[in-house]
Amino acid sequence: MQLPHAVEKLFEAADRKLAHHPKLLHMFKQCYVNTLETTTKRMPDGTTFVFTGDIPAMWLRDSSAQVRHYVPLAKDDETLKSLIEGLLRRQFYYIGIDPYANAFNEEANDRRYEEDLTELNPWVWERKYEIDSLCYPIELAYAYWKATGRKQALGESFRTAARSIIRLWVTEQRHFEQSTYRFTRLTGPKSDTLRNGGMGMPVQYTGMTWSGFRPSDDACTFGYLIPSNMFAAVALGHVAEIAEAVFQDNYLKRDALALKEEIEYGIETYGTVLHPVFGKIYAYETDGCGNHNLMDDANVPSLLSIPYLGYKDKDDEIVRNTRRFILSEHNPYYYEGGKAKGIGSPHTPRRYIWHIALSMQALTSSDPDEMWSLIETCLATDADTGYMHEGFDVDDPARFTRSWFAWANSLFAECVYHWMELER
């Protein structure tokens, strides 16, 4: 395919900066264009359908993450502007169909994983409710607006979607009292369904908003998922800024900021734990009843990604303590082996770590040497494919899940791009 002009210019710069790292140069280029070449489809209505790669459906989360690394180049490239604005229009359209759904079909064809016990729609591929599915389009729209100054993607469809998202998050602050959302899957592992008649386990009001599932698409153990609530708080700040600057909508701004304050209060009041080794840290999940799940998952939003999300700076004391915890054996999904070490997920086999987590660890590091070491680990664990995978065995990288994972490729490309910027 003919590459966008801005991408060609970036690759010319990469040829110079990475000349002494031929494998890194090759993998950076392959991973950077992976979404453009394999998972992007322009639709007759001018929108963009971005599917995950090995599944023909479009996740609100993945589709945003798959194009995020193009945002810095979009200002001076009409092809990238059209692609991103087309994706945002399609995302807001999907949210209008069902804000509880996480993945959608290209057409209203009733294709899906399973005939789950929940409210189904022909457009919906899967209806696992995940807070981050609604955060990602807001974050993408905000980042694109800031990078380009263009308001075309911030029309009435954005404002309608933002109001719908706020209503849903307010409802899910009191999930058991006010929500009609239920989800039960009769096949597959227990992590694919919600307990307690499809409602999830009991929670009490905290100010945070409830989530049925994690960014991994696994069910939450406890309904208040801390990293996703952090992402929601950041997204609400974006909505408030856009409401004022673009729409002059004081009501939308007021509602976004009020909910943001409640969620942040809930995170800081109910979402922290005094750990005997690491001090005050953030939990991964809580129910507001005194129970906490101390772990981290490779999928983003994660505790590792707190500075990347923009919730708190990497130098914040609780963030530093949490990072030390999740990059240690105290995190049940942190693994060290003969070939690599890092964070995995209950979504993949034991002792498999994720390239997404390695890239995120690099992006949130304050140490250039650590960042470069993590890039080298990614290069050494591609199993000679030239691409990033989902999870891989820490003792044998030739054993991996998902040979084609566009999100991991995009995040690795973003990581290398950031490293090149630091090397100026």
CATH number at residue 298: 1.50.10.10
Q: For residue 2, with 0-12 CB atoms within 10 Å meaning exposed, 13-18 middle and 19 or more buried, which class applies?
A: exposed
325 and 377 belong to one structural domain: no
45 and 173 belong to one structural domain: yes
Mean pLDDT, residues 136-145 = 98
Report whether pLDDT(129) > 70. yes
Q: Please give the pLDDT value at position 164.
A: 98
Q: Tens of pLDDT along 4-63?
A: 999 999 999 999 999 999 999 999 999 999 999 999 999 999 999 999 888 899 999 999
Question: Which one of 330, 360, 377 terminates a domain?
Answer: 330
48 and 108 belong to one structural domain: yes
Q: Tens of pLDDT along 362-409?
A: 999 999 999 999 999 999 999 999 999 999 999 999 999 988 799 999
Question: Which one of 281, 296, 330 terminates a domain?
Answer: 330
Report whether pLDDT(85) > 90. yes
Question: Which one of 278, 313, 330 terminates a domain?
Answer: 330
Triad 355, 360, 366: Cα angle to 5°: 135
21 and 126 belong to one structural domain: no
Q: Tens of pLDDT along 178-231?
A: 999 999 999 999 999 999 999 999 999 999 999 999 999 999 999 999 999 999
Q: Please give the pLDDT value at position 422.
A: 84
129 and 238 belong to one structural domain: yes
Number of domains in the chain: 2
Measured distance CA(393)–CA(399) in Å, rounded: 6
354 and 299 belong to one structural domain: no
What residue has token string 């100026």? 424
Host H or E run for residue 342: strand 341-343
Helix (H, G, I), strand (E, B) or coil at 293: strand
369 and 255 belong to one structural domain: no
Q: Would the pTM count as exceeding 0.95?
A: yes
44 and 189 belong to one structural domain: yes
What lies within 8 Å, CB to CB, of 367 at 6+ separation is none
199 and 307 belong to one structural domain: yes
Give the pair of three-digit tokens for residue 239: 């909505």
The model's confidence at residue 153, banded by pLDDT at 50, 70 and 90, is: confident
The model's confidence at residue 152, banded by pLDDT at 50, 70 and 90, is: confident
Report whether pLDDT(424) > 70. no
15 and 129 belong to one structural domain: no
| Average pLDDT of the chain to the nearest whole number | 97
Q: Tens of pLDDT along 305-333?
A: 999 999 999 999 999 999 999 999 999 99
Mean pLDDT, residues 89-99 = 98
The whole domain housing 5 covers 1-32+333-424
Q: Tens of pLDDT along 328-364?
A: 999 999 999 999 999 999 999 999 999 999 999 999 9
311 and 390 belong to one structural domain: no
